[in-house]
Amino acid sequence: MDDASERAIEDDMLDQFNFFDEEDEELADRRNPAPLDSFDLVDDRPNEDKDLAKDEPKDKPNMLRPDSWPSILPQHHGVRAGELHMKTDWRQIVTAGDQLAVNAPLTDKSSIICRTGMLMLASGTGAWRVRDTMNRVAAVLGVTIHVDLSLLSFECTCIEDGHCFNEVVSLPTTGVNTHRIWMMESFLKEIETYGRHFTVHEYHEMLKTVESSKPDYASWQQGLAAAFACASFVFLLGGGPIEMACAFVGAGVGNFARSHVLKQGLGQFSALTVGVALACISYLLALLGLDQIMPGAMAHQEGYIGAMLFVIPGFPLITAGLDIAKLDMRSGIERLSYAVAITVMATLVGWMVAECVGLAPDDFAPLGLSPLTLTLLRVVLSFVGVFGFSVMFNSPVKMAAAAGLIGAVSNTLRLTLVDAPTILPFLSLSAGMAPEAAAFVGALASGLLASLVELKLTYPRIALTVPSIVIMVPGLYLYRAMYYMCTFDTVNMLGWFVRAILIVAFLPVGLCVARTLTDPRWRHTS
């Protein structure tokens, strides 16, 4: 076979995979793949395509030869992935952008479904909600899908009229954004009502609006929210005004630093290390400052634990339990592993700082408040704490306030059940409810109240329930377990660890029961 015949065969093959116009620059790059050593995975120069064209070899590889295949494998929908393999230009993926989405090719429908799932997964919601959202969009488009989800990626197979298309989407990191979850809920309602009349480009433009939405709060606002949340947390754990004031300073500085580090593009564990270390150090400095004004303030060192509780991975912990309850084992185990890794790293950093400066997790001194005063303060500070955590999850103010009201009721109920002999002396109870059982009741109450609020305000239930019970996560127990493990006090370590595990286990169980009672879509197998 002569060179001209080979060239004709090559051109015919390329035309079969041509999803773009002849002038498309990306197509030109695909037709003339550059050598592997010319790909720069770091430098993001705007004229990189031109530079690659200069280095292009004169002798193009034969597309029919197997040894040429690796050069064309890094393609997605016919487009070479850029410098970052997780970066995708959705405008270049679609092949029939001006066509109605219901009549578009399967590849275009897959791009809509997968982008929808990607935005839900990136918002930190559970696997069931991600899969349910993708299924509902797929139903509008007339496609059957199968999705395999994990913490940072999913594989989606789209089936239509005997044709099958498989796509894998991955994320560089994870986080929580309840406002985006709410926006995606609104998007889903719009699609289920009018989706059959939208073009492919209109779908992607709506999704672009969600994806390009900026955080509702600046770093200093996130720091202030963490300060109020952790100060409230300290009181609910038994701390007094001095511990609350110092925790306010420590948590504010720590979370501001963590948010700033994350915005610089550093990894989550680096940001966590910086945030926790600065939180503990700031608590100590604030305590030293107060000691100059109020002699004896240095006796209140135990509150430093509360200053770093803003790193509690409440969302992954709770959603991991919900995923496991729905038999999404892969996603649930990965979320649980991620939450455990965050907790271990945070407690180890806290312990190292405590060892260096001589802090110890002693018990809080009794406050001596009357039952009525204590209950009223618990209601107010539970609201403040949940509101602060909601802001850290990027909830709008009204959504955060709704979650705060739910948390004020459910968390006060939980604490009252534990301290029933003291709070309700007229009942003549010999002992209060076990903390594990009380955690279940509190989570159940949060789930039932959230179902009512969801009907009235249309907020996503997960954006209300998880922040309202994050304040119930036993961060103090987890830290003390790690502290005693590092000091080789096995008995105390096991005691605090078992208590923490049982409470953490009962929180998602309570939400699951509430969801089963109030949500038909949840209680039936999807």
pLDDT in tens, 246-278: 999 999 999 999 988 888 878 888 899 999 999
Assess whether 55 and 194 both reside in one domain. no
Assess whether 48 and 27 both reside in one domain. yes
Residue 420 confidence (pLDDT)? 87
What distance in Å separates the CA atoms of residue 360 and residue 363, rounded to the nearest whole number?
9
Number of domains in the chain: 3
Assess whether 273 and 328 both reside in one domain. yes
Assess whether 173 and 77 both reside in one domain. no
Sorting pLDDT into bands at 50, 70 and 90, what band is 31?
Answer: very low
Q: Which residues of 225-234 are buried (b: 16+ CB within 10 A; e: fewer)?
A: bbbbbbbbbb
Domain span at 315 = 219-523
Assess whether 56 and 133 both reside in one domain. no
3-state secondary structure 148-194: EECCCEEEEEEEECCEEEEEEEECCCCCCCHHHHHHHHHHHHHHHHH
> Which helix (H) or strand (E) segment is 145 a member of?
strand 144-149
What distance in Å separates the CA atoms of residue 279 and residue 306, rounded to the nearest whole number?
9
What distance in Å separates the CA atoms of residue 92 and residue 49, rounded to the nearest whole number?
15
Mean pLDDT to the nearest integer, 13-18: 40
Assess whether 231 and 254 both reside in one domain. yes
Assess whether 327 and 438 both reside in one domain. yes
Assess whether 183 and 276 both reside in one domain. no
Looking at the chain, the whole-number percentage of residues with pLDDT higher than 90 is 39
Rg (CA), the chain: 27
Q: Are strands 75-76 and 163-170 parallel, antiparallel or unpaired?
A: unpaired
CA-based max dimension of the chain: 101
Mean pLDDT to the nearest integer, 303-326: 88
Mean pLDDT to the nearest integer, 64-87: 38
Q: What is the pLDDT of residues 404-450, one digit of tens each?
A: 999 999 999 999 999 888 887 777 777 889 999 999 999 999 999 99
Q: What is the pLDDT of residues 324-363, one digit of tens each?
A: 988 889 999 999 999 999 988 888 888 888 888 777 777 7
Assess whether 241 and 384 both reside in one domain. yes
Sorting pLDDT into bands at 50, 70 and 90, what band is 15?
Answer: very low
Assess whether 26 and 136 both reside in one domain. no
Assess whether 164 and 243 both reside in one domain. no
**Phi/psi class of residue 170: alpha, beta or left (left: φ > 0; alpha: ψ in -120 to 50)?**
beta
Mean pLDDT to the nearest integer, 284-303: 84
Residue 90 confidence (pLDDT)? 66
Q: What is the pLDDT of residues 370-385, one digit of tens each?
A: 889 999 999 999 999 9
Domain boundary among 155, 179, 211: 211
Domain boundary among 211, 240, 265: 211
Assess whether 134 and 57 both reside in one domain. no
Q: What is the pLDDT of residues 144-164, one digit of tens each?
A: 999 999 999 999 999 998 889
Mean pLDDT computed over every residue of the chain:
81
Q: How far is CA 457 from the centre of its chain?
A: 23
Domain boundary among 211, 231, 255: 211
